[in-house]
Amino acid sequence: MKIENIHLKFKACSAAATDTRKLPKDCMFFALKGENFDGNKFVQKAFNDGAKYCVVDNADAVINDNCILVKDVLSTLQELAKFHRIAINVPIISLTGSNGKTTTKELIKAVLETTYNVKATIGNLNNHIGVPLTLLSFTEALDFGIVEMGANHQKEIEFLCHIAQPDYGLITNFGKAHLEGFGSIEGVIKAKSELYNYLIHHNKKALINTDDSKQVKQINHYTNTITFGSHRDNDYTITFKNANPYVTLSYGNLEIESQLIGNYNYGNLAASVAIGAFFKVSALNIKEGIEAYQPNNNRSEIIKKGTSEIILDAYNANPTSMLAALNNIIQLNTTHKHLFLGDMFELGLEAKEEHQNIVDYITTNFTGSVYLIGENFHQTTDHCSCLKFQKFEDLIPTLKTLELNNATVLIKGSRGMALERILEYL
């Protein structure tokens, strides 16, 4: 069946879906396959649970006239998303980067939706499946669509750009993330810059944080840009004021106090200000959108426990974001500090060195209690009083006896460590 005919059927559906455990009524179900599952086996269940059409790539899965047989379900999902994106012709803002993608996306959405009808990637559905699903959730009624793009290998951002065809693009930063797939920081820069390459090739607008020398270097020959940062010659001058603990910045005559901690969030906030200003959102609405945004999902959340304050940043971690979080708690004007740090994943051959670098940095710069959890941290050497635990369960007896009073606590680790479990014991 031609993609335009599948699209006609899709327009009669409520949504696109890939998981039979949570199917919207009258959706189009895509029977994706993976190493341990085959969606073709769940077609009858999908119809029973309310699917209007099922896209399959196994002839044996065709059980009625509402089954659409294709050569490959995943490529059809991606092709349909691209066709739909062109059909609705909504301006697309795309962003990628090593750290802060989801937070920046939510901030941009918070600013723009004070004035416009906006929809964005839900959560971090930012890969070769999530981006198509995001695009298929957009309609002609939107003023803007915001698409987050993630990657852990070369050419992935290039492929996602081919589907989403962004009109505007932003890279939050280049950091030491997914080194297992990228090989080095140079590999990270090359991969993330595929977004810039797309924008340049199609003469679309790139947003550049001029306080980030790596970004400026990557795109210094391109003029179709929106520049922002602390320098006065930017299109939008946004100044960092302080982060004690919440980041405050100034824009024009306004002071904007966010609910985000850490000066590393300045660039994320500044990007949302610049995008809002470029699209004629009033300064007061920009301020309102940012100040109303509350971080969640274990990202830089501040949680009160008795007399203590916990910084929960346990959604993900890599060497760059870990150092940023450490620098933040080090500069806070508090006395009793505790670190609970979990392993950083997907570092490949660099894992041993990068974990040791973090421990060396703590030894030199941090004063307080340190608890390191995970195989990689357990193998490090240190000259401080770090307590090491090979797995989370080994930490529990210590947590049960720990008494915190007027303390500042940082909890940070990769998603697989699930360090938010610490909250149950503090």
Q: Which residues pair with 407 in a beta bridge?
A: 336
pLDDT higher than threshold 90 for residue 186: no
Give the C-alpha separation, 7 to 414, whole Å: 39
Extents of the domains making up the chain: 3-72, 89-292, 301-424
Neighbouring C-alpha atoms within 13 Å toward the C-beta of 196: 24
Q: What percent of the chain has pLDDT over 90?
A: 75
∠ CA(212), CA(213), CA(218), 5° rounding? Answer: 105
pLDDT higher than threshold 80 for residue 179: no
Tokens describing residue 173: 């930063």
Separation in Å, CA 375 to CA 100, 202, 240, 342: 26, 46, 38, 9
The fold of the 301-424 domain, in CATH, is Protein-Tyrosine Phosphatase; Chain A (3.90.190)
415 secondary structure, DSSP code: G
Tokens describing residue 237: 């001058």
pTM of this prediction? 0.88
Q: What are phi and psi of 182, to 5 degrees?
A: -90, -25
Q: Measuring CA to CA, which residue among 412, 187, 389 is closest to residue 317?
A: 412
Averaged pLDDT for residues 213-242: 92
pLDDT higher than threshold 80 for residue 172: yes
Give tens-digit pLDDT for 281-295. 999 999 999 999 998
Tokens describing residue 322: 């870990």
Q: Does the structural domain 3-72 have CATH classification 3.40.1390.10?
A: yes
The per-residue pLDDT for 73 is 97
Q: Provide CATH code, domain 89-292.
A: 3.40.1190.10
| Pairing state between β 92-96 and 67-69 | unpaired
Give tens-digit pLDDT for 58-117. 999 999 999 999 999 999 999 999 999 999 999 999 999 988 899 999 999 999 999 999
